[in-house]
Chain A
Amino acid sequence: MRTIRALGLAWLLLILTVTGAAGWTGTASASEPAAGKVYQIGTDVTFAPFEFQDASGKFVGIDMDLMEAIARDQGFRYEIKPLGFNAAVQALESGQVDGVIAGMSITDERKLKFDFSEPYFDSGVIMAVRENDSQTRTYEDLRGKKVAVKTGTEGYRYAESIAGEYGFTIVPFDDSAQMYDDVKGGNSVACFDDFPVIAYGIQQGNGLQLTDEEKVAGASYGFAVRKGQNAELLRMFNDGLANLKNSGEHARIQEAYLGEGAQQASGGGWNLITESLPYLLEGLGKTLLYTIVSLFFAFLLGLLFAFMKVGGSRFLRGVATVYVDVFRGIPLIVLAFFIYFGIPQAFGFTMPLFLAAILTLSLNAGAYVTEIIRGGIQSIDRGQMEAARSLGLPYGKAMRKIILPQAIRVMVPSFINQMVITLKDTSILSVIGLVELTQSGKIIIARTFESFTIWTTVMVLYLIVIIALTKLAERMERKVRHG
């Protein structure tokens, strides 16, 4: 009975927190109190000049400016969800967002799943190589080499289509900056990407150059909604786009990013670090927040399942064992995808990102915490429980006053370890678009292409926090040990 009540309590807490937090994000993200619908628009985080964050952390780019102008023209409200390209497309498929604007090429394949707007940008694919690479001038020079591409892009499709002919191997990446870095690092000799993206990158000093190969005419970019849904939104986008083209604003927006006068991103070095730091620290704050909240729930889950594991009921023991086996066995990244994309698609509802993130981390860490607590409890000599019970103490009291105080001393080092692991694991959630420290770093690199500086800063920030927390925990551990 006791265990069942504890189970109910834990769920109640979970639900309370979830609903509480839902209210909280609601007020934080919506720009005005909801009168009409606020469309959720998914986008990439790393696709300059179409979408990227400027130094102040604001999302800018051709797509962003276009969206803003169209919304103003048509009088609808929207909220940008910078998820990353693949995540945004999956989010649209599973109905997590209403539309996607992410330099998304209109292809026949995609038309099966999405309805596209009129094209708003005519792209094309081009090859780029390292700045000081004078060897690789044509496709012929790629034979036997590796070529970096970005998954799901026109560049990928084009590279794939000529890979056999020119005898090169494709190496897929998730964002442009990583792809460029692979070329700069020499692992791949060339990359294929949409012309405006590469052109913008080169202009910003990403360390690449164009070759003798001309750009191949590619597909056009369109705004996408899920097939058969949000027809109203699509209509407004098309109407707005037509108006902007007539007024000349459409051309002005493109010119602002691709023209001669386009702004240079800041230089590298200390300037970049000091400029990025506030943004990275904000990401770090999110990392800590998600770590703490997740560990809290992981602890509740761990407590619950650990007591089920050491308890007398064979059924509850079985349930707890299944829980631990399942969530310890699933890679965190797969669990994140499943919870954020899989479940909403199957059941047709929208899963808030923070909820998916916390569920993922809590369920995963909860499995480990279960084992930590179970191990701690079982490490205490059986005679302790027997002595307590023989005095007439009920099980719960004996557990709380005699077993747990001793077990906690055994558990503390493992808890510290789990805290460090969970803190680092939050970085994995960047794959579903959670803007924590790692994702913040990725976003800055997307704009500046300064991999070394930013990843170094990110590493140092992780190390500072983890070492500080570990020291603090060790001090607490000493206190626990010596009463």
Chain B
Amino acid sequence: MGKIRVEGLKKSFGSNEVLKGIDLQVQPGEVVCVIGPSGSGKSTLLRCMNRLEDITAGSVVVDDVDINAKDTDINKVRENIGMVFQHFNLFPHFNVLRNIAFAPTELGKLDEAAARQTALRLLERVGLSDKADAYPAQLSGGQKQRVAIARALAMNPDIMLFDEPTSALDPEMVGEVLGVMKSLASEGMTMMVVTHEMGFAREVADRVIFMDGGYIVEEGPPEELFGRPRQERTISFLEKVL
């Protein structure tokens, strides 16, 4: 599984309404990239997908579970939704291995040995086998973000959320992170990616969503949205970034 259905989603911070009514579906295995100018609400939308933000109105249903319902165990829901942050948010007091193995062992998903095996396998996958014992402070930005991806994958989620995963990276490190994400996408992971990497969106996304001012302005397959944008705002945004 790994299906998201958003209906009539509104989110306000105080009197500031950031999301003004979002309807959206993500199918299992689909890769959706969300683009748009800063302040358009795309990060907030992503953070509503695992209830890092409580919503003001509407509903977010993940695999048939209304995640904002009173009797929903949000921790269980989150186990199935990995998240990668712009600023990595690795645990600085754990080494790389422990960063990855921590959640599965702590939540009783894997025993110590199995979690270690999983962590080493994931590290190999993101190309950091030699960094198992390093601490986050000893890693470059690109390495940190790859560890963060491995950490999220350790819970074996069906859905991965990426919140501008390359925005805090030096340009030469963007590629290594996008490479890992690309391979994830090709393996059928359901992914929602907030990004400024138009090249990545064009190449990897099944669907691109353009947001502005708290609304979804336009969405479609990348070749359509990038090739034949219909909305004025989409056109002017793409002119600026491409």
Which residues of A are interface residues toward B (Cβ below 8 A)?
381, 383-384, 386-394, 397, 401-402, 405-406, 483
Contact = CB atoms under 8 A, between A and B. Distances in A.
B200 interface: no
B92 A391 contact: no
Contacts of A386: 52, 83, 85, 89
A483 B79 CA distance: 29
B107 interface: yes
Contact of B91 (A387, A389, A394, A483): A387
Contact of A391 (B87, B93, B103, B161): B103
Given A384-B91, A402-B91, A391 B79 contact: yes
B52 A392 contact: no
B93 A387 contact: no
29 contacts: A381-B87, A383-B87, A384-B89, A384-B91, A386-B52, A386-B85, A387-B83, A387-B85, A387-B89, A387-B91, A388-B103, A390-B50, A390-B81, A390-B82, A390-B161, A391-B79, A391-B103, A391-B107, A391-B151, A392-B75, A392-B76, A392-B79, A392-B103, A392-B155, A393-B103, A393-B107, A397-B106, A401-B106, A406-B92
A390 B78 contact: yes
Interface string B77-111: 11101110101011111000000001100110000
A483 B94 CA distance: 10
A390 B83 contact: yes
B106 A381 contact: no
Query: For the complex, would chain A's binding face be called helix, strand, loop or mixed by DSSP majority?
Result: helix
B33 interface: no
Interface string B131-161: 0000000000000000010011001000001
Interface string B42-85: 00000000101000000000000000000000011111011101
A290 B148 CA distance: 47
Contacts of B103: 388, 391-393
Contacts of A391: 78-79, 82, 102-103, 107, 151-152, 155
Residue of B77, B82, B103 contacting most chain A CB atoms (<10 Å): B103
A215 B83 CA distance: 89
Contacts of A393: 75, 103, 106-107
B91 A392 contact: no
Contacts of B151: 387, 391
**A-B complex: 9 closest residue pairs judged by Cβ atoms:** A392-B79, A387-B89, A383-B89, A391-B103, A390-B83, A392-B78, A392-B75, A405-B93, A394-B75
A390 B52 contact: yes
Contacts of A394: 75
Nearest to A391: B103
Contacts of A390: 50, 52, 78, 81-83, 152, 161
Query: For the complex, would chain B's binding face be called helix, strand, loop or mixed by DSSP majority?
Result: mixed
A390 B46 CA distance: 12
Contacts of B89: 381, 383-384, 386-387
Contacts, number: 61
A389 B78 contact: yes
A388 B92 CA distance: 12
A483 B77 CA distance: 34
Contacts of A405: 93
A389 B77 CA distance: 11
A381 B50 CA distance: 19
B62 to A, nearest CB: 13
Given A391-B152, A405-B93, A383 B78 contact: no
B87 A392 contact: no
A389 B52 contact: yes
Nearest to A483: B93
Contacts of B107: 391-393
A405 B87 CA distance: 20
A381 B91 CA distance: 11
Interface string B102-135: 1100110000000000000000000000000000
Nearest to A381: B89
Contacts of B77: 392
Given A392-B103, A394-B75, A406 B52 contact: no
A393 B99 CA distance: 13
A383 B85 CA distance: 8
A481 B140 CA distance: 22
A393 B52 CA distance: 12
A475 to B, nearest CB: 20
Contacts of B85: 383, 386-387
Contacts of B90: 387
A382 to B, nearest CB: 9
Contacts of A388: 91, 103
B57 to A, nearest CB: 20
Nearest to A387: B89
A483 B82 CA distance: 29
Contacts of A381: 87, 89
Contacts of A483: 93
A388 B82 CA distance: 11
A394 B151 CA distance: 17
Given A387-B89, A397-B106, 8 more contacts: A383-B85, A384-B89, A386-B85, A387-B90, A390-B83, A390-B152, A392-B79, A393-B103
Contacts of A383: 85, 87, 89
A387 B52 CA distance: 10
Nearest to A384: B89
Contacts of A387: 83, 85, 89-91, 148, 151
Contacts of B102: 391, 401
Contacts of B82: 390-391
A389 B53 CA distance: 12
Contacts of B52: 386, 389-390
Contacts of B161: 390
